[in-house]
Amino acid sequence: MQDMSNTQHQLDQIKVDILKKNVCPDLAKTAQQLVMGAGDPDANIMFIGEAPGKKEDETGLPFVGAAGKFLDEMLASVGMHRDQVFITSIVKYRPPNNRDPKPEEKAAFLPYLLQQIAIIQPTVIVPLGRHGMEYFLPGVRISDIHGQLQEIEFEGRTLKVMPLYHPAAALYNGSMRQTLKDDFLKLTQLLEAA
C-alpha cells in the first residue's frame, strides 16, 4: 500500500519540473496549460493517450472531449469510474490544431511519463493508440496486438502492457468501436484474474 498523499505530492512535483525545464517551449506557447493526467495516484490501471485536445487544454483534464466520453462509457460498462484509474497522455501540451505529436515532442515528454509510471506503479499499462504504445512496444502495429497482454521489462520488473485502439479512432467506426469494447472486457478480466 502506497501513501496516497505522498504519491500525489510526487506526481505534482513532475509538473513543477516540466515547467522549470521549459519542456517543448513552442507547444507551451500555443497551449493554455499542461495536462498532466488525473485519477487515482494508487491506480491499478494506467491509460496512456496521445496528447491533449481542445477541451483538455481548456480544462487541464485528460480525455474530457468526445473520446473521453467514450472512455467513460466503457469504464461504466464494467462498473468502473475514471476516479479509480489513472489517465494521462505521452505529450502533455496540446499540439496546435490537434496535429500528431512530433517524435521530438514525444521524446521530450517520455521521461516524465516514465516518472509517473514509477510513482503510480500500476498493475497494467494501457496505451490508447500507437503514440502511447510505441515506446513500450516498438516496431509493432496496434492493429496486430490490440487487446493482447504483453509483458516487458521496465526498471527491473515485469510490466504488463495491453494496448487498445484510441477511442477517438473508434468513435465513428462501428467495427473498431466493438473491438475496443471487447478488448476493454478482456482488460477487466485480466485484472480480476491478477
- Applying CB under 6 A, the residues found at the interface with ligand URA are 49-53, 56, 62-63, 65, 67, 89, 168
- Least distance in Å: CB of 188 to ligand URA? 21
In the structure grid, which three cell numbers stand for residue 51, read together?
A: 496528447
**Residue 131: which H helix or E strand, with range?**
helix 130-133
60 vs 157, beta carbon nearer ligand URA: 60
In the structure grid, which three cell numbers stand for residue 128, read together?
A: 490508447
16 Cβ neighbours under 8 A, 6+ residues apart: none
Q: Which residue is nearest to ligand URA (CB)?
A: 49
In the structure grid, which three cell numbers stand for residue 170, read together?
A: 473508434
- Least distance in Å: CB of 6 to ligand URA? 26
Nearest C-alpha neighbor of 2 from the set 101, 103, 119: 119
- Least distance in Å: CB of 128 to ligand URA? 6
